[in-house]
Amino acid sequence: ELKVEQNPLFLSMQEGKNYTIYCNYSTTSDRLYWYRQDPGKSLESLFVLLSNGAVKQEGRLMASLDTKARLSTLHITAAVHDLSATYFCAVDIGSSTDKLIFGTGTRLQVFP
Amino acid sequence: DTAVSQTPKYLVTQMGNDKSIKCEQNLGHDTMYWYKQDSKKFLKIMFSYNNKELIINETVPNRFSPKSPDKAHLNLHINSLELGDSAVYFCASSQGFGRSSNQPQHFGDGTRLSIL
């Protein structure tokens, strides 16, 4: 059975610090998505990674994909309080259709 | 302009009842999905429809029945509700079908279902 594991599950970090969230998956896929979810809210798409070596950056967040290692990372640079949320990676394992398997989520809290 | 809208936002009901959740998208997408998010925030795909045709039907109890009257709507009917059905149900949509699309899925705001 496919597993998509994120670590850490919970991350408390100080403003201005850097950190990386890891997403490991157990089957072949060349498509991976990152989403953000604020408490009680919907999921917001952050990044779409479509091939090995893909790197995307938006503001203080940068995502990368290594399909050979079955690993994606979400790097946070100089964290600010507004980044506090839960972050999910989702692996697309579909062949004839999109089928996303979500990771366990990483709850990020940024404090002053 | 809400892209993916779900109604109701909250649903509190008793065990054994039957309830429906509605979803509509105005993005012109042709694929729609239902996900369940449990109390531990774990998200799992339930169903997917493309142009009114059922594509993904995960292992869910047959008390759950999706219906897509057209490609802009995907409703979820749940019979004989059980305590374990308490969760947040998210509708989503995406453009294209299968590997032809490079776009992410767009999610609704969720329906929080509480079973008493």
Task: Tell me if A96 sits within 8 A of B98, measured CB to CB.
Answer: yes
pLDDT of the residue at A90:
96
- Going by pLDDT thresholds of 50, 70 and 90, the confidence category of residue B73 is very high
Q: CB distance B109–A41 less than 8 Å?
A: yes
Give B75→chain A minimum CA distance, Å. Answer: 18
* Nearest-CB residue to A102 (from B43, B109, B110): B43
**pLDDT digit string (tens) for A70-111?**
999 999 999 999 999 999 999 988 766 678 999 999 999 999
pLDDT of the residue at B1:
66
Q: Among residues 62-91 of chain A, which lie with CB inside 8 Å of chain B?
A: 86, 88, 90
Rounded-to-integer distance, Cα A70 and Cα B63, Å: 36
Pairing of strands B111-115, B10-13: parallel
Residue A83's closest CA among A45, A44, A42, A36? A36
pLDDT of the residue at B98:
60
pLDDT of the residue at B102:
77
Residue B22 scores a pLDDT above 70 = yes
**b vs e for A95-104, b when ≥16 Cβ sit within 10 Å of the residue's Cβ?**
eebbbbbbbb
Residue A23's closest CA among A91, A77, A85, A100? A91
Cis peptide before B61 (omega within 30 of 0): no
The whole-number average pLDDT for the span B45-50 is: 92
pLDDT of the residue at A34:
98
Half-sphere CA count of B34, side-chain side, radius 13 A: 31
Pure H helices in chain A: none
Half-sphere CA count of A102, side-chain side, radius 13 A: 23
The whole-number average pLDDT for the span B94-113 is: 84
> Measured between CB atoms, does B44 come within 8 Å of chain A?
yes
Span of A56-60, B74-78, B92-96 with lowest mean pLDDT: B92-96
Structure tokens at B77: 């009917």
Residue B100 scores a pLDDT above 70 = no
The whole-number average pLDDT for the span B69-88 is: 96
Q: CB distance B104–A88 less than 8 Å?
A: no
**pLDDT digit string (tens) for B57-67?**
887 899 999 99
Say what percent of chain B tops pLDDT 90.
Answer: 79
Residue B32 scores a pLDDT above 90 = yes
Q: CB distance A102–B94 less than 8 Å?
A: no
- Provide the mean pLDDT of chain B: 92
**pLDDT digit string (tens) for A30-66?**
889 999 999 999 999 999 998 888 999 999 999 999 9
**Amino acid identity, residue B109?**
D
